[in-house]
Structure 1
Amino acid sequence: MTAEPFASRLTRAPLAHDPARGAEAWEALSAHLSAPELRPLVEGTGGSSPFLHGLIRREAEWLADVLQGPPEPALATLAAEMRAVAEADTAQRAGILRRGKRRLAVLTGLADLGGVWDLDAATAALSDFADAAVEGALRGLLADEFARGRLSRDPDDAAGAAGLFGLAMGKGGARELNYSSDIDLIFLFDESRHEADAYAEVRSRLVKVVQGVSQLLSKPTGEGYVFRVDLRLRPDPSVTPVCIGMDTAERYYESLGRTWERAAFIKARASVGDIAAGEAFLSRLRPFVWRRFLDFAAIRDAHDIRERIRAHRGGGGPISIPGHNVKLGRGGIREIEFFVQTRQLICGGRDPALRDRGTRAALRALTGAGWVGEEAAAELDAAYVAHRELEHRLQMIEDRQTQTMPTAPEARDRVAALSGWSDRAAFEADILARMERVSKIAEAFFQPPGAPAAAEPAQAPDLASAGFERPDYAEGIIDRWRQGAIPATRSTRARTLLAGLEPRILQALRAAASPDDALAQFDRFLSGLPAGVQVFSLFEQNPRLVDLIAEICAASPRLAEALGRSSRVLDAILATDFFEPLPGADALTEELSEWLAREEDYERQLDVARSWAKEMRFRMGVQLLRGIADAEEAGHGFSAIAEACIRALFPLVEAEFARRHGPPPGRGAAVLAMGRLGSGEMTATSDLDLIVLYDAGGQEASEGKKSLSSPAWFSRFTQALISAMTAKTAEGELYEIDMRLRPSGRQGTVATSLSGFRAYQAERAWTWERMALTRARPVAGRADLQDDVRAAVGEALRLERPAAEAWTGAADMRARIAEAEKGGREDPWAMKRHRGGLMDIEFVAQAGLLAAAAEGAPDLPLGGASAPRALAALEAAGRLDPGDVAALAQAHDLQSRLLQALRVATSGGFDPATAGPGPIAALLRVSGETEIEALAERMQAAREAAAEVVDRLLPAPSAEGPGG
């Protein structure tokens, strides 16, 4: 806040409804202060607010002193005086508190009306004072109990308030208190601070303390009151005392907590007493408040609350300013708060940046994240400020907790004057227009276009005319939904929601090449859901999702099955960047690490990693199916997801393992990615080929509770890392891992020392093992160790050996695989093993790199090299004929695209005769063909051209190879 004097910061002033009363107020103040620039503010305030008129006259001397400088020091002094109440005599506490509140009221009133403080500053001043007043009262009454020996005399107990803490709820929690606000508080205490046999007595004492706080602050005396205290937000207030144990409260919210209580805890803040205990409680309650999935069912709950409020207040009809409640009525403050809080409940579980307690700050965060449009946000923010300031004017007149516009014309004139308007009709027209704009935005959110207006089931469509070739079969599926025969539709609410969605679903499915197949797949999706309300609520609020799910069901049985197994992947679709290109491994690692950091439990972290990876793979699969990403981008995307999982989990596994066996010896371990992960060409179903290398730096054993020899440490750590990636948790498996490419294969240890790796590559490695290294790259571990691993891979590839050895070794391996995979090579859609397929082309690329490296050819992509990259480099170096490279590259490109699409669209083998139109459409989309027969011919021609080159470069072992 600025340090400028009060008068120099004035930007506005109210008008005096009663000029004579205004003159009286100015006369009282000016007797102690010569500041004519304050006169319009004081006369306008005193002439329109009887309450502030009385305070100005009563506190004129104090006020005159305060107004000579900035108001902030006076506010800080008032707060300090409230906290010091704890040390005052019992008989003096009530008077000190009430005097402080009077002075706060007149200071805040003038600062607000004069524009010295904006809305946020005014509400923060009221809220901070409330915290100080409650803290002073609470500490004073606790001190009385300690002094009487009714609570422990332990100094730590006194300092920690005996584990008692207050949660500021509602506007107090958000530091948004209104001018004459109640304060909503929940008082709890930490049972663990007390002996079990003393629990009942301690609770009884603390209940009396809380009751005493409420009475001290709320009871009217000759000097008024401080704050009305509302304790009814506590768990089950009709049967529980005003202070209960935090464990009891936690159990209540976990088992019985409702949506409105979740919304209330968005603003909850540990404000008084044992703040550390309060913050610990709120931390434990986060899973209750912030669901890990997008919670669109909260919209219906919030809408129901709105309707109950309207029914109770009679606010469902047209807006009429006389008698309108600016908080609870249509277009009012609560509409804006519901709009923001409901969005927070929906999205805040996934994005902690959206959890701000403040309404305006949360609205800004939601807008920045793309959940609220900028135009709507600007309208709501401006309306919120104006609504809240009007609320303050209504309350300033008589210090009454009211938000209702008066009906009498004279009273409305007074409100207009206090608000600075001379024309009451224009003033009320401005309010009406603002209310109607808010109402329009809120209604669009809570009742989106096309939402079902009644619980009546949709009429059965004419399925035959809608394109379903087996209408009886389709009708049977829909009847199962309606009758609650699947878990997703067992509840009445779920069936009601689905009834309204049926027409949209069937409309979307009829657009598929085979509506019957698409409906069957959609049924599998629904049947896999454990419950339906959340998903159907999501569909209701986002109808475009129905279209996308229908498209996925038509094109990709695999993705549809993934949806049924984990409907939370739908959450990813609603992210604003869902159809944007996937970021690289660095950004994905950072994102996943942030997700993992929100969990303290190791097992939960493993679940989170799986949930995150499912969403990301789903996003990449949809982008590929829709043609947003091509095959190369999909390969990079799937690889970046896997790399992020390794990089994010590696330090967590290391820390968990080190907790038992001490830190890793030496420089620790590094993970070397092989195969498709190494070259950045993974598909939706690829497993991970990995090698773990370590450098113990001469350290023989770890230093920990259960120390291990260095080889044993790294061997068991590797097994723990494999388990973290492959174990089936509640969220399933993350990846399958293949470690057969490690030195000596299955006979070798699961972790290899870096020196051992170098020796093995120099002395014993087979040609095919060195070929595999052309795709290898380190992805996790200390940066300096990764550099040394990268260098070791380069050294292994550049070992001086006859170039012909690379070609003959590759030819021998090709022949062995051809013999072992005879059946697979007959399948025309087997992209990898077929003659002229991906593996043949990759063998040429790898053998070519190995031969060139052995002869010292410069500028080769050694390590992490994909086949296209390797072929291009070999052509540029003059080591492969351009015509041969063109044939190989063309066949590799087409088959890679088809492989990526098949891995996303299908769960098993592919046969055009039985696959259905969905997967076929996916292949046609990625290839650019219009008929599957034409695609098969094109693929065969490309493969034959590639096979001719491969046969020449990698002939059967009995023939002589090209020698490099």
Structure 2
Amino acid sequence: MTHALFATRLIRSPLAHDRDAAADIAASFADMPPEVAGLLGAVAGCSPYLKGLMGREGDWLRAALAQSPEEAMALVLAEPQTAEGAETLGIALRRAKRRAALLAALCDCGGVWGLEEVTGALTRLADLAVDLAIRGFVAEEIRRGKLPGAVPEDAATGAGMVALAMGKMGAGELNYSSDIDLVCLFDETRYGDLAGEARTAFIRVTRKMAALLSDITAEGYVFRTDLRLRPDAAVTPVCLSMGAAESYYESVGRTWERAAYIKARPCGGDLAAGERFLRALTPFVWRKHLDFAAIQDAHDMRLRIREHRQLNRPLTVEGHNMKLGQGGIREIEFFTQTRQLIAGGRDPDLRERTTVGGLAALAAKGWIPGEVAEELTTLYRAHREVEHRLQMVGDAQTHDMPVTAEGVARIAAFCGEAEGAFRARLLDRLARVDALTEGFFAPGEVEALPELSDTARGIVEGWSHYPALRSERAQAIFRRLRPTLLKRLMRAANPDEALVALDGFLAGLPAGVQLFALFEANPALIDLIIDVAATSPMLARYLARNAGVLDGVIGGSFFAPWPGVGPLVATLTQAMAEVGDYEKKLDAARRVMKEWHFRVGVHHLRGLVDAFEAGKHYADLAEAVIAALWPVVCAEFTRKHGPLPGRGAAVLGMGSLGAARLNAGSDLDLIVIYDAAGVEMSEGPRPLAARPYYARLTQALVTALTAPMAEGRLYEVDMRLRPSGRQGPVATSIQSFTSYQENEAWTWEHLALTRARPLAGAGEIMAEVEEFRRRLLPVKGKGAQVRGEVAQMRARLKAAKPARGAWEAKNGPGRMMDIELVAQMAALLVGSPLRGVERQIEAGRKGGILSDSDASTLLSAYRVMWRLQAGTRLITEDVLEPAKLGEGACAFLLRETGAARAEELGRSLEAAALAADAVIGACVGAGERDGETDDAAG
């Protein structure tokens, strides 16, 4: 890429504070273009340090400014790379630092480069210096035989040692006179039992590197080097093993260390090993749940810094710390990093190292308003420019404004402004940063509690004994939160009932800091919690056990349209791909599933979807879980026992899953069908015969779905609808399946087959099973015994599963299971491949099995029964007792079923069940008589 010459790109200049110094330098460079000589003079008139560099590097500077600054900087960075030996390298790096500092300062002051170009050039020099030093000193250790097993070629990658650039260096944001923060590590796995010997060598390398860069000689210094960001710096060596570091962060790592690793980047030595370490540290830095507790940590840190540095004084220009003081650079960085920590675990797009990039990413994802991001970016750039001018004056690592008016006037001139205007604008900017960031960090005052009844007061006082409020930190947040909770409870239809429900929710919480911080940062969630608790105690208990699902509520898409199976599969697949081992993948699937499951429940509860839409959404989610999980289970099983023998296997959904209609508490009816295609054994580390292979693979799928893990379980699974039920193998070969269905299956198994649906697995087998199902049903539906066997099944169901209460929707004559049974019978009799209840009844009507009026009666009854059943399962796992329902739950069920009052719902249920029972009895009863006639005739 071709860049324009330096002189043609000048757009601004400082004002010369020391006019004599400016005139002196301008005269020295009078041979250069006037605008360049003028810039050099103005800069020298503000910075004694840069004036000295101009005198020392005059000949080089003339040549550098006669070309593009990018070309000049490339030459500066190239020179040290040819240096041989530590002494020569030290001299070359110091010369490069002088020249890079001078060139970057002139590009900055003349407006030739923007902030990122200035800080990027300084960072590239720092990277180069660290890498060259590590490689040189590692080569020396190898020559001395101090690194066991290492050969000279290993020096090129640091023989497993890496320096991680932290802070501004990691982000490519080094300030003008910045020190560099490094964490030095080595990959102990390369050295086995001799890792201790290697560590000793790498400690020497680290110390020599730090001295080479930091020591001040006649040539100056390269970079002041700070190694104190390493784990437990007071007691650990300057270079430690990656395993030890990882163990530290996993066990005792703190929020400030998590924030530090947002910017961490390998910069020297074994860069690949450094990247592996940072990937391993991802769960520590980026929490899987939204981490609003980080706000309090950041706020506490800000206060400690201000108190330690005695920065809690009124806002003035003199002596103000541009980095740590009120409204300073660190406020913007904390604001950005804390929000990144909150949500970056869920959204990798937020894991941006730079401050400006982080603000843009947060705005793009809706975590902060776009105008706030733009304004903070402008303020940040302006602050960094002042910071650079402070440091350019004397090459001091300072962030403090001068304490004298004369000093402030120098910095104003260096920024190209008159002193009065500079002061006013600086104070405005500091105040604006403070206004934009302080409200995010500072917790609100504790409000007074609303008036409570004696009963309510007793409940509230009992909260202090709950597990979620054991820690002082949880108590502090909850004290601020409690008045808001109680005030919003007062708005519920029945405040006392809502309070009892909320009490149950709080009692079930195992921990509170994260959740209470989430509520404090997102007050709208409080209304949702109270709504859920007052309407569905069961959903509230679920929420208490799985509070992480609330992350999805504020993730931006909670109330967006339902995505469907395909996008859900993609979301689950991505979540599992982002973690390493098998168990973590299963936990990731649980986390995603629970968020979406909770979302369906909330949408249903709030009337955003009705029972039928919710039923489809629950079924979509279950299908997506199976479709995403099956390849993961197969891959893990393949790793142990080799690839699937033959053509593979297919997973079929049966029952309600096959019909694509589930409720909040549904389990999954599954069967697995495989085709070994004559292959007798798998080929792998532990080969298995084909039949046990697929049986154990099926068990692995069931375990993946049902095993209780850190994130709970996915679903309960029922495999009794496989051929021969409990007596049959858990996985069935396609040959056995087709033969059994054709020759041995009972009518109830053919009825079950009317709702079978392939969900995942080998595409050919899925297609063959579906084609076979469609071919078999018309044949088996012609049997004269179908109605009679259905009648017998109905009688057994009536005896085994009677209605359990006035609002029973599922069991009993004329209720949901009864209607589903006759719908399946109708589909079988007419040979229809349709799976849903409504479609099967319609197929029966078209096929003459049901009259128009009978079909209408069954559909009307089924619809009210399903609405009630879906609503019931969202409210309770137990028998629904109308008299014990809370007002919120009762109102929800009435709204769902369209009844005005509870008594009306009870009457309409009974009438619908009686009408449906009469239709079903007539339809199935005719079959009984036909069967008896056929038997007698035989």
Kindly indicate whether the alpha-carbon contact (under 8 Å) linking 2:653 and 2:668 is maintained by their aligned counterparts in 1: yes
Cα deviation for residue 132 of structure 1 reads: 0.4
Indicate how the Cα distance of structure 1 residues 882 and 362 shifts in structure 2: closer, same or farther if over 3 A, else same.
farther
Instruction: Decide which of 555, 567, 587 is 1:587's aligned counterpart.
Output: 567
* 1:400-439 → structure 2 map (5 Å cutoff): 400-421=396-417, 423-439=418-434
Kindly indicate whether the alpha-carbon contact (under 8 Å) linking 1:347 and 1:354 is maintained by their aligned counterparts in 2: yes
Residue aligning to 1:161 = 158
Matched, 1:833 2:811: yes
Cα deviation for residue 651 of structure 1 reads: 1.2
The separation in 1 between residues aligned to 2:76 and 2:844, in whole angstroms, is 79
Kindly indicate whether the alpha-carbon contact (under 8 Å) linking 2:665 and 2:877 is maintained by their aligned counterparts in 1: no
Matched, 1:934 2:904: yes
Matched, 1:759 2:757: no
Kindly indicate whether the alpha-carbon contact (under 8 Å) linking 2:899 and 2:905 is maintained by their aligned counterparts in 1: yes
Cα deviation for residue 632 of structure 1 reads: 1.9
Q: Amino acid of the residue matched to residue 175 of structure 1? A: G
The separation in 1 between residues aligned to 2:381 and 2:745, in whole angstroms, is 73
* 1:845-884 → structure 2 map (5 Å cutoff): 845-853=823-831, 862-863=833-834, 865-871=835-841, 881-884=851-854
Kindly indicate whether the alpha-carbon contact (under 8 Å) linking 1:163 and 1:274 is maintained by their aligned counterparts in 2: yes
Cα deviation for residue 874 of structure 1 reads: 6.0
SS at match of 1:335: helix
The separation in 2 between residues aligned to 1:564 and 1:537, in whole angstroms, is 15
Instruction: Decide which of 178, 186, 189 is 1:189's aligned counterpart.
Output: 186
Cα deviation for residue 195 of structure 1 reads: 5.5
Matched, 1:147 2:140: no
Kindly indicate whether the alpha-carbon contact (under 8 Å) linking 1:254 and 1:288 is maintained by their aligned counterparts in 2: yes
Indicate how the Cα distance of structure 1 residues 881 and 116 shifts in structure 2: closer, same or farther if over 3 A, else same.
farther
Matched, 1:180 2:177: yes
SS at match of 1:665: coil
SS at match of 2:626: helix
The separation in 1 between residues aligned to 2:667 and 2:716, in whole angstroms, is 5
The separation in 1 between residues aligned to 2:244 and 2:422, in whole angstroms, is 50
Indicate how the Cα distance of structure 1 residues 176 and 785 shifts in structure 2: closer, same or farther if over 3 A, else same.
farther
Matched, 1:479 2:461: yes
Matched, 1:777 2:774: no
Kindly indicate whether the alpha-carbon contact (under 8 Å) linking 1:48 and 1:414 is maintained by their aligned counterparts in 2: yes
* 1:379-390 → structure 2 map (5 Å cutoff): 379-390=375-386
Indicate how the Cα distance of structure 1 residues 314 and 739 shifts in structure 2: closer, same or farther if over 3 A, else same.
same
The separation in 2 between residues aligned to 1:928 and 1:433, in whole angstroms, is 60
The separation in 2 between residues aligned to 1:416 and 1:873, in whole angstroms, is 85
Instruction: Decide which of 337, 340, 347 is 2:333's aligned counterpart.
Output: 337
The separation in 1 between residues aligned to 2:784 and 2:805, in whole angstroms, is 32
Matched, 1:842 2:814: no
Matched, 1:212 2:208: yes
Cα deviation for residue 624 of structure 1 reads: 0.9
The separation in 2 between residues aligned to 1:151 and 1:738, in whole angstroms, is 59
Kindly indicate whether the alpha-carbon contact (under 8 Å) linking 2:667 and 2:716 is maintained by their aligned counterparts in 1: yes
Indicate how the Cα distance of structure 1 residues 187 and 674 shifts in structure 2: closer, same or farther if over 3 A, else same.
same
Indicate how the Cα distance of structure 1 residues 813 and 800 shifts in structure 2: closer, same or farther if over 3 A, else same.
closer
Indicate how the Cα distance of structure 1 residues 931 and 82 shifts in structure 2: closer, same or farther if over 3 A, else same.
farther
Residue aligning to 1:656 = 636
Kindly indicate whether the alpha-carbon contact (under 8 Å) linking 2:203 and 2:237 is maintained by their aligned counterparts in 1: yes
Kindly indicate whether the alpha-carbon contact (under 8 Å) linking 1:815 and 1:957 is maintained by their aligned counterparts in 2: no
Cα deviation for residue 18 of structure 1 reads: 4.3
Q: Deviations over 1:111-152 (max 9, x none)?
A: 223333322222222112101011112222223333334444
Q: Deviations over 1:774-819 (max 9, x none)?
A: 3222111133333333323322234375287665554443343223
Residue aligning to 2:595 = 615
Indicate how the Cα distance of structure 1 residues 716 and 26 shifts in structure 2: closer, same or farther if over 3 A, else same.
same
Instruction: Count how many residue pairs are aligned between Structure 1 and Structure 2.
Output: 932
Q: Amino acid of the residue matched to residue 516 of structure 2? A: F
SS at match of 1:778: strand
Cα deviation for residue 884 of structure 1 reads: 3.9
Matched, 1:890 2:879: no
Cα deviation for residue 9 of structure 1 reads: 4.1
The separation in 2 between residues aligned to 1:748 and 1:955, in whole angstroms, is 32
Kindly indicate whether the alpha-carbon contact (under 8 Å) linking 1:84 and 1:136 is maintained by their aligned counterparts in 2: no
Residue aligning to 2:451 = 462
Residue aligning to 2:48 = 50
Cα deviation for residue 662 of structure 1 reads: 0.9
Instruction: Decide which of 876, 880, 886 is 1:916's aligned counterpart.
Output: 886
Indicate how the Cα distance of structure 1 residues 113 and 872 shifts in structure 2: closer, same or farther if over 3 A, else same.
farther
Identity, in percent, stands at 49
Cα deviation for residue 193 of structure 1 reads: 3.2
Q: Amino acid of the residue matched to residue 342 of structure 1? A: T
Matched, 1:724 2:701: no
The separation in 2 between residues aligned to 1:675 and 1:195, in whole angstroms, is 55
The separation in 2 between residues aligned to 1:505 and 1:266, in whole angstroms, is 34
Indicate how the Cα distance of structure 1 residues 835 and 328 shifts in structure 2: closer, same or farther if over 3 A, else same.
same
The separation in 1 between residues aligned to 2:13 and 2:247, in whole angstroms, is 51
The separation in 2 between residues aligned to 1:952 and 1:517, in whole angstroms, is 46
Residue aligning to 2:167 = 170
SS at match of 1:799: helix
Residue aligning to 1:605 = 585
Kindly indicate whether the alpha-carbon contact (under 8 Å) linking 2:786 and 2:927 is maintained by their aligned counterparts in 1: no
The separation in 2 between residues aligned to 1:528 and 1:958, in whole angstroms, is 53
Instruction: Decide which of 239, 262, 269 is 1:266's aligned counterpart.
Output: 262
Q: Deviations over 1:572-625 (max 9, x none)?
A: 322211222332121111111222122222222222322332222122111111
The separation in 2 between residues aligned to 1:772 and 1:939, in whole angstroms, is 27
Q: Which moved more, 1:868-877 or 1:511-520?
A: 868-877
SS at match of 2:261: helix
Q: Amino acid of the residue matched to residue 212 of structure 1? A: K
Indicate how the Cα distance of structure 1 residues 584 and 397 shifts in structure 2: closer, same or farther if over 3 A, else same.
same
The separation in 1 between residues aligned to 2:59 and 2:612, in whole angstroms, is 78
Q: Deviations over 1:155-183 (max 9, x none)?
A: 16534424322111111111111111110
Indicate how the Cα distance of structure 1 residues 383 and 807 shifts in structure 2: closer, same or farther if over 3 A, else same.
farther
Matched, 1:303 2:273: no
The separation in 2 between residues aligned to 1:923 and 1:19, in whole angstroms, is 84
Kindly indicate whether the alpha-carbon contact (under 8 Å) linking 1:28 and 1:56 is maintained by their aligned counterparts in 2: no
The separation in 2 between residues aligned to 1:755 and 1:28, in whole angstroms, is 96
SS at match of 2:609: coil
Cα deviation for residue 495 of structure 1 reads: 2.0
Q: Which moved more, 1:320-329 or 1:10-19?
A: 10-19
Indicate how the Cα distance of structure 1 residues 655 and 45 shifts in structure 2: closer, same or farther if over 3 A, else same.
same
Q: Amino acid of the residue matched to residue 735 of structure 1? A: Y
Indicate how the Cα distance of structure 1 residues 345 and 879 shifts in structure 2: closer, same or farther if over 3 A, else same.
same
Q: Provide the TM-score with structure 2 as the length reference.
A: 0.93
Kindly indicate whether the alpha-carbon contact (under 8 Å) linking 1:803 and 1:852 is maintained by their aligned counterparts in 2: no
Kindly indicate whether the alpha-carbon contact (under 8 Å) linking 2:827 and 2:840 is maintained by their aligned counterparts in 1: yes
Q: Amino acid of the residue matched to residue 824 of structure 2? A: Q
Cα deviation for residue 535 of structure 1 reads: 1.9
The separation in 2 between residues aligned to 1:690 and 1:4, in whole angstroms, is 69
Q: Which moved more, 1:733-742 or 1:935-944?
A: 935-944
Kindly indicate whether the alpha-carbon contact (under 8 Å) linking 1:83 and 1:133 is maintained by their aligned counterparts in 2: no
Matched, 1:397 2:386: no
The separation in 2 between residues aligned to 1:51 and 1:806, in whole angstroms, is 100
Kindly indicate whether the alpha-carbon contact (under 8 Å) linking 1:906 and 1:919 is maintained by their aligned counterparts in 2: no
The separation in 2 between residues aligned to 1:49 and 1:159, in whole angstroms, is 40
The separation in 1 between residues aligned to 2:785 and 2:78, in whole angstroms, is 85
The separation in 1 between residues aligned to 2:668 and 2:422, in whole angstroms, is 68
Matched, 1:627 2:623: no
Indicate how the Cα distance of structure 1 residues 183 and 918 shifts in structure 2: closer, same or farther if over 3 A, else same.
same
Cα deviation for residue 670 of structure 1 reads: 0.9
Q: Amino acid of the residue matched to residue 368 of structure 2? A: V
Q: Provide the TM-score with structure 1 as the length reference.
A: 0.91
Q: Amino acid of the residue matched to residue 71 of structure 1? A: P
Kindly indicate whether the alpha-carbon contact (under 8 Å) linking 1:218 and 1:229 is maintained by their aligned counterparts in 2: yes
Kindly indicate whether the alpha-carbon contact (under 8 Å) linking 2:665 and 2:873 is maintained by their aligned counterparts in 1: yes
- For structure 1, the residue ranges without an aligned partner over 5 or more in a row are 465-470, 854-859
The separation in 1 between residues aligned to 2:501 and 2:559, in whole angstroms, is 23
Root mean square deviation, CA, Å: 2.8
